[in-house]
A and B are shown apart, each in its own frame.
Chain A
Amino acid sequence: MADKKTVKQVADLAGSYDAGFVSDIEMELAPKGLNEDIIRLISSKKNDPDWLLEWRLKAFKHWQTMKEPEWAKFDMPKIDYQDIYYYAAPKNAQAPKSLDEVDPQILEVYKKLGIPLKEQEMLAGVAVDAVFDSVSVVTTFREKLKEVGVIFCSISEAMNDYPELVRKYLGSVVPMTDNKHACLNAAVFTDGTFVYIPEGVRCPMELSTYFRINEAKTGQFERTLIIAEKGSYVSYLEGCTAPMRDENQLHAAVVELIAMEDAEIKYSTVQNWYPGDENGKGGIYNFVTKRGICKGDRAKISWTQVETGSAITWKYPSCILKGDNSVGEFYSVAITNNYQQADTGTKMIHLGRNTTSKIISKGISAGHSNSTYRGLVRVSQKAKNARNYTQCDSLLIGEDCGAHTIPYIENRNMTAKVEHEATTSKIGEDQLFYCRQRGINEEEAVALIVNGFCREVMQHLPMEFAVEAQKLIGISLEGSVG
């Protein structure tokens, strides 16, 4: 809920992109461009096992034959894949064992971002696997998690320490050939997070990774793999901020979730990557493939996302509801301003009996931006008594923006109930008037109303994120009124 405090925070943060700074830490860069040699280089830098190198090369070979997906509602220049660095690692980053070994400048960056690692280590709240460009630098709380058997580490570490687990599940939900961006990721992914929750364990803390793109012109290719065994529970937080810069950056991540019988995975994202300036210059291209599978009966996967950043967002966190009685949820707020473009939504694939899914999507467009909800609900013939409820609401601020809703509904089972509704409207004049006559200026009033509009989604965010997300909404809409 937006209250006075939020409005004040919005006002405090007004004026600039808060996370926009570049730190000059020495980087180790592989040459620009993509070819087999680069992939071999990445592979050797990451100490890949042989099967993984082969996997990468196979993906690369397939990637070359794939067409760029063109169905999304974007207007963007062709990506020159040969003009991108595919590997960047901070120098002197050979596996520090404690925070003391970490480059103090890196720690300074985190401080600016508001991730007080040291404090967090003390407060038994959030464990952070902080990713600085491509190499995971610091991982905290691993020991504590180990006690209950939870594995929380970077995926390259997992590759060495738990090769069978990684090999078994990597690419099992998002096959390497899934789409062009996921395929590219399979070929060049450099890091990411691996989480394994053993049977019957409730993860004692919220797991969190802060991603950050730092060196100019490095694409970030993260890969996240979360496995929740029978009867386990985990809540995972992903947050992004990126420094201000002029050139478009490519980000193609892949996230795979696997929930076994009675397991629950809650995945929350706050995405605040550099959206480009008021004239649409610069900004991140964010092409993410996120998919989870409810493998066992009564499994549950819940996606919550707040998307405020990136010049282009292309993202459809999906659930495959294979186990009987499994549950999929998708809560999303997507805010676009200036010349941002977002094409985002979800897919709910009902395969098992009595599966239920719920989709709540709130899109807010301002300035010259375009936001699109694109979703699929598919009920297969065997999905008896499946249930879906979808609600997509769009809010328009200003007359130059666009809001679009493109749902696909495919029902092949008579006992299934599928409902979809969508509305589009602008901020009510009466609501604005009410706020203004109480002395709230127009911009603050808009932030307040928008926060109310999004409340249904925001309340699904973990506490740690809720405050940040409210701030973001205000900042994202700066300059959209008046």
Chain B
Amino acid sequence: MMVAEAQINNNTINLLEGWEEGLDKAPEWVQSFRKKAADDVMKTGLPTPAWEDWKYTNLRNLESVTLCEASSLHVVPNISSPFIDLKPIIVQLFNGSFVGEMPDLPDGLMIAPINEVWTNDWFKGFVSSLSIDTPMEALNSAFLNDGIVIKVSENTKIAEPLLLLSTYENSKDMLSVMPRIVIILENNAELNIVEHQSGIGSYVCNQATSINLGEKSKLGHYILQDNDRTQGYLFNTTKLNCYDDAVYDGFSLNHGAKLSRHEIFADLLGERIECIINGAYNLISTQHHDTTIKTGHFSPNSISKQIYKGVINHEASAVFQGRICVHNDAQGTDGHQLNRTLLLSEKAEFNAKPELKIYADDVKCSHGVTSGDLNDEELFYLRSRGIPEIEAKQILTKAFVAEVIEGIKDSVVRDIFLSISIEEGTK
């Protein structure tokens, strides 16, 4: 939500620095698209806790960072990801731009850097039709250049999963990257994408993901976010448009950054859609992670489900904001949301704002939020069987998170997520 009064601060100027670079090489529509977005950011400034949607996340610390340009890479980074076992199609992004060689792609799957396809009408049509709802999105749009497009043609089922490896690395000043990922599934197309984001050093990554799911299409979208826990700033805005009978199965495992926010807008525009957005977060030290999900039901008979589980340790803090909005025409909606958070330390902090906004009467909607520490009785049960306290805590925490991972529809991906250790978060 944009604030009416303009409030320009240094901070905005900071992150906007260099947005005009390469502008003249972009097609005309991109130029005006970027200019408008930059204007938007300048008008509103970066969000402050005075904004209702940013009540619990403060970007103050961003003000003091000095930014530098992304260094171009000469060596393709070594691939290390648990998802290699999937034998996937691998695409690598380094500091936001495509690196390495394009793998052989099956028929019907198109992958290309954004600045190679942006003269195409279908790309222009889709991207320019997207509304810009947050300053982080506007900021990303002002830099539209880096990133890739993934497109699956009509009636095509891609058997192999696609592994998208995004790496951020920087050793000097704060690096700022603004990649855009565009995923388009045409009618009756199917694809599984695993996104593995990892970062080292100090950086500001502000990614925007735009997804369009055509009729009867199916997308599995699984994210492992495994960044530097102490230095990076990570913003992720996902925009999801679904049409009749589309299925979206989303899951993200977030290990956070120094400060991170994942904002998801899911617009269910067609009927009989199934939209699942699940996730887990595991925070330590002084990390702050914010999950904000806004689901909009615009047409009848769709299902949306969200389950998020969080583990917060040390002095970390987490935010969960979820809104299910059922519009007037969306009769027969089934919308459910659940957030459960474990606090493992005395200084951990948790804030939540789950919202229901309902304008149709024939609906079933619910939300639930719980927070607290581990159950004493369960701990006692394990300890009475000779399991040391620390181990018992780990077992219980792991089981707590596993519950949501088990919801992933793809069984191989599910097993890999289950094998990822979250022990560090429980110590």
A/B pair count, beta carbons within 8 Å: 115
Q: Mark A296-326, 1 if CB is under 8 A from B, else 0.
A: 0000000000000000000000000000000
Is A399 a contact partner of B355 (Cβ separation < 8 A)?
no
B241 → A minimal CB distance (Å):
24
A28 at the interface (CB under 8 A from B): no
User: Which residues of B sit under 8 angstroms from A401, Cβ to Cβ?
Assistant: 359, 361
B90 at the interface (CB under 8 A from A): no
Which B residues between 323 and 368 are near A, CB-CB below 8 angstroms?
328, 331, 341, 343-368
Which B residues between 363 and 386 are near A, CB-CB below 8 angstroms?
363-373
The one of A396, A397, A407, A418 in contact with B363, judged by C-beta atoms closer than 8 angstroms, is A396
Is B363 a contact partner of A425 (Cβ separation < 8 A)?
yes
Is B373 a contact partner of A415 (Cβ separation < 8 A)?
yes
How many residues from A make CB contacts under 8 Å with B?
Answer: 34
A219 at the interface (CB under 8 A from B): no
Is B363 a contact partner of A426 (Cβ separation < 8 A)?
yes
A113 at the interface (CB under 8 A from B): no
B389 at the interface (CB under 8 A from A): no
B52 at the interface (CB under 8 A from A): yes
Is B351 a contact partner of A394 (Cβ separation < 8 A)?
no
User: Which residues of A sit under 8 angstroms from B52, Cβ to Cβ?
Assistant: 71
Docked complex Cα distance between A423 and B337 (Å) = 10
Main secondary structure of the interface of A (DSSP, over half): strand
Contacts A407-B369, A422-B366, A422-B368 given; indicate if A413 touches B358 (C-beta within 8 A): no
Residue of B nearest to A393 (CB): B366
Docked complex Cα distance between A66 and B325 (Å) = 32
Contacts A71-B52, A425-B364 given; indicate if A414 touches B354 (C-beta within 8 A): no
The one of B341, B355, B361, B371 in contact with A404, judged by C-beta atoms closer than 8 angstroms, is B355
User: Which residues of B sit under 8 angstroms from A402, Cβ to Cβ?
Assistant: 357-359
Is B351 a contact partner of A414 (Cβ separation < 8 A)?
no
User: Which residues of B sit under 8 angstroms from A403, Cβ to Cβ?
Assistant: 356, 358
User: Which residues of B sit under 8 angstroms from A396, Cβ to Cβ?
Assistant: 358, 360-361, 363
A301 → B minimal CB distance (Å):
24
Q: Mark A397-439, 1 if CB is under 8 A from B, else 0.
A: 1111111111111111111111111111110000000000000
Find the residue from A396, A398, A402, A414 having the highest chain B CB count within 10 A: A414
User: Which residues of B sit under 8 angstroms from A425, Cβ to Cβ?
Assistant: 363-365
Is A407 a contact partner of B351 (Cβ separation < 8 A)?
no
User: Which residues of B sit under 8 angstroms from A399, Cβ to Cβ?
Assistant: 328, 331, 360-362
Is A411 a contact partner of B371 (Cβ separation < 8 A)?
yes
User: Which residues of A sit under 8 angstroms from B351, Cβ to Cβ?
Assistant: 408-411
A179 → B minimal CB distance (Å):
16
The one of A397, A398, A411 in contact with B343, judged by C-beta atoms closer than 8 angstroms, is A411
Is A420 a contact partner of B354 (Cβ separation < 8 A)?
yes
Is A419 a contact partner of B357 (Cβ separation < 8 A)?
no
Residue of B nearest to A399 (CB): B361
The one of A71, A408, A410, A414 in contact with B372, judged by C-beta atoms closer than 8 angstroms, is A414
Residue of B nearest to A398 (CB): B361
B341 → A minimal CB distance (Å):
8
Is B361 a contact partner of A421 (Cβ separation < 8 A)?
no
The one of B344, B352, B353, B363 in contact with A414, judged by C-beta atoms closer than 8 angstroms, is B344
Is A417 a contact partner of B353 (Cβ separation < 8 A)?
no
Docked complex Cα distance between A407 and B328 (Å) = 22
User: Which residues of B sit under 8 angstroms from A408, Cβ to Cβ?
Assistant: 351-353
Chain B residues touching A, range:
35 or more
Is B344 a contact partner of A404 (Cβ separation < 8 A)?
no
Contacts A409-B351, A417-B370 given; indicate if A423 touches B365 (C-beta within 8 A): yes
Is A418 a contact partner of B328 (Cβ separation < 8 A)?
no
Is B367 a contact partner of A405 (Cβ separation < 8 A)?
yes
Contacts A411-B343, A418-B370 given; indicate if A394 touches B358 (C-beta within 8 A): yes
Contacts A399-B331, A407-B369 given; indicate if A424 touches B363 (C-beta within 8 A): yes
Is A418 a contact partner of B366 (Cβ separation < 8 A)?
no
Is B346 a contact partner of A419 (Cβ separation < 8 A)?
no
Contacts A71-B52, A411-B371 given; indicate if A421 touches B363 (C-beta within 8 A): no
A347 → B minimal CB distance (Å):
14
Is B361 a contact partner of A397 (Cβ separation < 8 A)?
yes
Docked complex Cα distance between A398 and B354 (Å) = 24
User: Which residues of A sit under 8 angstroms from B371, Cβ to Cβ?
Assistant: 409, 411, 416-418
User: Which residues of B sit under 8 angstroms from A407, Cβ to Cβ?
Assistant: 352-355, 369
The one of B350, B357, B358 in contact with A411, judged by C-beta atoms closer than 8 angstroms, is B350
Docked complex Cα distance between A397 and B347 (Å) = 45
Find the residue from B351, B352, B358, B373 having the highest chain A CB count within 10 A: B358
Docked complex Cα distance between A423 and B345 (Å) = 31
The one of A397, A412, A421 in contact with B349, judged by C-beta atoms closer than 8 angstroms, is A412
Docked complex Cα distance between A422 and B359 (Å) = 16
User: Which residues of A sit under 8 angstroms from B341, Cβ to Cβ?
Assistant: 411
User: Which residues of A sit under 8 angstroms from B365, Cβ to Cβ?
Assistant: 423-425
B180 → A minimal CB distance (Å):
32
Residue of A nearest to B55 (CB): A408
Docked complex Cα distance between A404 and B362 (Å) = 15
User: Which residues of B sit under 8 angstroms from A426, Cβ to Cβ?
Assistant: 361-363
Residue of B nearest to A394 (CB): B358
Docked complex Cα distance between A421 and B366 (Å) = 7
Find the residue from B341, B345, B360 having the highest chain A CB count within 10 A: B360
Is B353 a contact partner of A418 (Cβ separation < 8 A)?
no
Docked complex Cα distance between A397 and B368 (Å) = 23
Q: Mark B26-65, 1 if CB is under 8 A from A, else 0.
A: 0000000000000000000000000010000000000000
Is B368 a contact partner of A414 (Cβ separation < 8 A)?
no
B157 → A minimal CB distance (Å):
37
Docked complex Cα distance between A415 and B371 (Å) = 9
Is B360 a contact partner of A406 (Cβ separation < 8 A)?
no
Is B353 a contact partner of A409 (Cβ separation < 8 A)?
yes
Docked complex Cα distance between A262 and B52 (Å) = 38
Residue of A nearest to B355 (CB): A406
Contacts A398-B361, A401-B361, A414-B345 given; indicate if A422 touches B352 (C-beta within 8 A): no
The one of A394, A413, A420, A424 in contact with B368, judged by C-beta atoms closer than 8 angstroms, is A420
User: Which residues of A sit under 8 angstroms from B363, Cβ to Cβ?
Assistant: 396, 424-426
User: Which residues of B sit under 8 angstroms from A415, Cβ to Cβ?
Assistant: 372-373
Is B355 a contact partner of A405 (Cβ separation < 8 A)?
yes
Residue of B nearest to A421 (CB): B368
Is A419 a contact partner of B370 (Cβ separation < 8 A)?
yes
User: Which residues of A sit under 8 angstroms from B355, Cβ to Cβ?
Assistant: 404-407
Is A409 a contact partner of B356 (Cβ separation < 8 A)?
no
Docked complex Cα distance between A201 and B129 (Å) = 69
Docked complex Cα distance between A398 and B52 (Å) = 30
User: Which residues of B sit under 8 angstroms from A406, Cβ to Cβ?
Assistant: 353, 355
Docked complex Cα distance between A411 and B367 (Å) = 18
A99 → B minimal CB distance (Å):
49
User: Which residues of A sit under 8 angstroms from B331, Cβ to Cβ?
Assistant: 399
Residue of A nearest to B320 (CB): A409
Docked complex Cα distance between A392 and B346 (Å) = 29
Is A424 a contact partner of B358 (Cβ separation < 8 A)?
yes
The one of A409, A419, A423 in contact with B366, judged by C-beta atoms closer than 8 angstroms, is A423
Residue of A nearest to B352 (CB): A409
User: Which residues of B sit under 8 angstroms from A418, Cβ to Cβ?
Assistant: 369-372
Is B346 a contact partner of A413 (Cβ separation < 8 A)?
yes
Docked complex Cα distance between A398 and B365 (Å) = 16
29 contacts between A and B (CB under 8 A): A396-B358, A396-B360, A396-B363, A399-B331, A402-B357, A403-B358, A404-B358, A406-B353, A407-B353, A409-B352, A410-B350, A411-B371, A411-B372, A412-B349, A412-B350, A413-B343, A414-B345, A416-B372, A420-B368, A422-B354, A422-B368, A423-B365, A423-B366, A424-B365, A425-B363, A425-B364, A425-B365, A426-B362, A426-B363
A residues contacting B by CB (< 8 A) are 71, 381, 394, 396-426
B residues contacting A by CB (< 8 A) are 52, 328, 331, 341, 343-373
Instruction: Name 10 extra pairs, CB < 8 A, besides A420-B354, A424-B356.
Output: A399-B360, A402-B358, A406-B355, A408-B351, A409-B351, A411-B343, A413-B346, A415-B373, A416-B372, A426-B362
Closest 8 CB pairs of A and B: A414-B343, A396-B361, A417-B372, A409-B352, A405-B356, A421-B368, A424-B365, A423-B366
